[in-house]
Structure 1
């Protein structure tokens, strides 16, 4: 696991230092903020794996900091660390979007375990989201996040139109499409320019085929159109 970086937003310096000492001993990089305003400023400037938030602070409450974070749909894990022990406060914190709520006085070792657990789970979710956005067929992969295309894990540089065309093919493998269907879906125009389609098919074949003159992936289906012929990876 890459080094964990967390932010502590806590107005009591001894508590901040205690948490930092415990987490540093576990190889976790800690940034400290003395109030909510500083905390939001840090969040805007830097990337963190998790935030530990006090609730009662002089300027902005931890509840308001959490609302601001979630308002912008930042899914970073949040742990509330507070002396407020009433059920309604705990429920309110979790409703706002906190992932955990620990009351003071607290066990540093338990807090450390919570930090590691929350970060591990969040990173796994991010990993799964990334994987789910990759389309794989045969030797090819298309990353829908970066719009990069790969053959045998080597990136193939494509133009904007080539990228749209290969994305459409990767989304519909082993289907035969007429020139009209391709033009409508990729060019977004009902009036077909057959010459443009032929040119871009040639461009793509030159980049992805082992032998462009004998294509085995982008095939002509005479009298109909084209087929992107690949076997799906299971």
Structure 2
């Protein structure tokens, strides 16, 4: 049974979501403010549904705190349909965004899709391996990306997208293909891929105009270009905190 943390200071929203998730055989942990959410979160939680506009500790702040320790998928809820609010939410590490009022059936479908993708990538990760290119060390099992001695924080969807690109490097891939293989859902369009690629580029770039790794292919989509090597974790010289191993 999947375990979902639902966070909203509107109790009626929490109760409604709880009932729909229970119908689909999911266990719900309820939180009615940001402080409760942080206290209740642990390794057993498989997805977080998080309202942005809460009193006290808001959803943006909670998301940032979650991302310090967990790579669990995060789905934002918001009454604000503005593009700026959506970009802000995704920019701090959320994996998805749905605007109130929403269709509970669509919400459940998105929850299932994110959990399925998360489990698939965990299962298919190449054991305790690290992929190395230039200054970057990508730890598959730990869901960590280290550049030099600093960690680059990616949401779970950003991390999955990076793994997908690395596993298909030097191959031109269409947005439609990326959407089908990474998102595995009909609830998104190709603009979703464009937005996530932009964010991933921003986090990997070495300078203001850098598109060194993820390059656009006119009329097709994208290509990832980097000479990468995948090795057992023990064979690398960087530990998971980004510090050199002595």
Within-5 A mapping of 1:116-127 = 116-127=112-123
Name 2:17's counterpart in structure 1. Answer: 19
Match of residue 33, structure 1, among 17, 31, 34: 31
Distance in 1 (alpha carbons) for counterparts of 2:80 and 2:72: 23
Distance in 1 (alpha carbons) for counterparts of 2:117 and 2:32: 27
Name 2:98's counterpart in structure 1. Answer: 102
Name 2:5's counterpart in structure 1. Answer: 7
> Deviation at 1:128?
1.7
SS in 2 for 1:102: strand
Distance in 2 (alpha carbons) for counterparts of 1:103 and 1:56: 12
Name 1:82's counterpart in structure 2. Answer: 78
Tell me if 1:69 matches 2:92: no
SS in 2 for 1:132: coil
Distance in 1 (alpha carbons) for counterparts of 2:19 and 2:43: 21
Q: TM (normalized to structure 2)?
A: 0.51
> Deviation at 1:56?
1.0
Distance in 1 (alpha carbons) for counterparts of 2:127 and 2:43: 27
What's the Cα RMSD here? 2.2
Name 1:50's counterpart in structure 2. Answer: 47
Higher relative contact order (CA 8 A, sep 6+): 2
Name 1:152's counterpart in structure 2. Answer: none
Distance in 2 (alpha carbons) for counterparts of 1:96 and 1:79: 12
Q: TM (normalized to structure 1)?
A: 0.54
**Bigger Cα Rg:** 1
SS in 1 for 2:98: strand
Which sections of structure 2, spanning at least 5 residues, go unmatched? 130-140, 142-231, 236-246
> Deviation at 1:46?
5.5
Give the structure with the higher percent helix.
Answer: 1
Within-5 A mapping of 1:119-198 = 119-129=115-125, 131-133=126-128
SS in 1 for 2:44: coil
Aligned length: 134
SS in 2 for 1:6: strand
> Deviation at 1:70?
1.0
